[in-house]
Amino acid sequence: MTIALGVLLSGSGSNFQAIADRVLAGELDADICLVVSNKPDAYGLERARSMGIPTACISHRDFPERETFDQELVRTLREAGVQWVALAGFMRILTPAFLTPFAGRVVNIHPALLPACPGIHAQAQQAEYGVRLAGCTVHFVDEKMDHGPIIIQAAVPAFATDNADSLGARILELEHRIYPQALQWIASNRVRLQGRQVIIDGAARSAASAWWTNPPLEPPFTT
């Protein structure tokens, strides 16, 4: 099936671009009905316009309460025929006024291996903490921040020489790979929820013995 997708963003929109590119390539069965930003100057809106994708800007500053902002988002997305919503660098917390109408149909990408480093500046949090494995997560959205069931995660190495920018760039490359993949699993109706566990029908399973360390192990600890 083709999913009628709405994308919400607040900034550069490189994840939106990665999704849209896969749609254009015929690799992701989605119709991007609308791109919405809460910021008028978000570069993501520019990207959408240049691809001929409809856009809307709904500034949260025009709404005294989160709920009324969320209601306007819902109204706008519904009017555009949106069935599924992908948050792509959308920096607002959504309330039940948004999540109830789109229950189970909102996904997000976060630049860390959740549940580590939720919230803002996740790339800086990871670099400053000195993690050895950083990464990104695509997950369903629930009412708690960066909390819902996890669809896919990707790990990248982090080095002592990294800062938020260098680590963030390494993570972002993987974001662009895993987000379209997660959406295509959804579009092909392969994603089911069992409590917090997300089952992806037919997905290959990494060997139980598969693991990765950073730095790599050295002999004799390699065996």
Site for ligand GAR in 28-67 (CB under 6 A): 44
> Cβ 38 to ligand GAR, closest distance in Å?
12
CA dist., res. 8 & res. 16, Å (int): 9
Rg (CA), the chain: 18
Residue 198 interacting with ligand GAR (CB under 6 A): no
Quote the CA–CA distance of 214 and 206 in Å, as a whole number: 19
In sign, the C-alpha dihedral spanning 197, 200, 201, 207 is negative
Is 110 assigned a catalytic role?
yes
Stretch that binds ligand GAR, among 12-20, 95-103, 151-159, 198-206 (CB under 6 A): 12-20
Q: Is 142 in the site for ligand GAR (CB under 6 A)?
A: no
Q: Which residue in 60, 110, 121, 139 is the catalytic one?
A: 110
The count of residues interacting with ligand GAR (CB under 6 A) is 16
Exposure string of 142-167, with b = 16+ CB inside 10 Å and e = fewer, is beeebbbbbbbbbebbbeeebebeeb
Q: Contact, 102 vs 36, CB < 8 A?
A: no
Distance of closest approach, residue 48 Cβ to ligand GAR, in angstroms: 12
Contact stretch for ligand GAR (CB under 6 A) within 9-17, 19-27, 98-106, 199-207: 9-17
Q: Which residues of the shown chain bind ligand GAR in the complex (CB under 6 A)?
A: 9, 11-15, 44, 88-89, 109-111, 122, 146, 172, 175
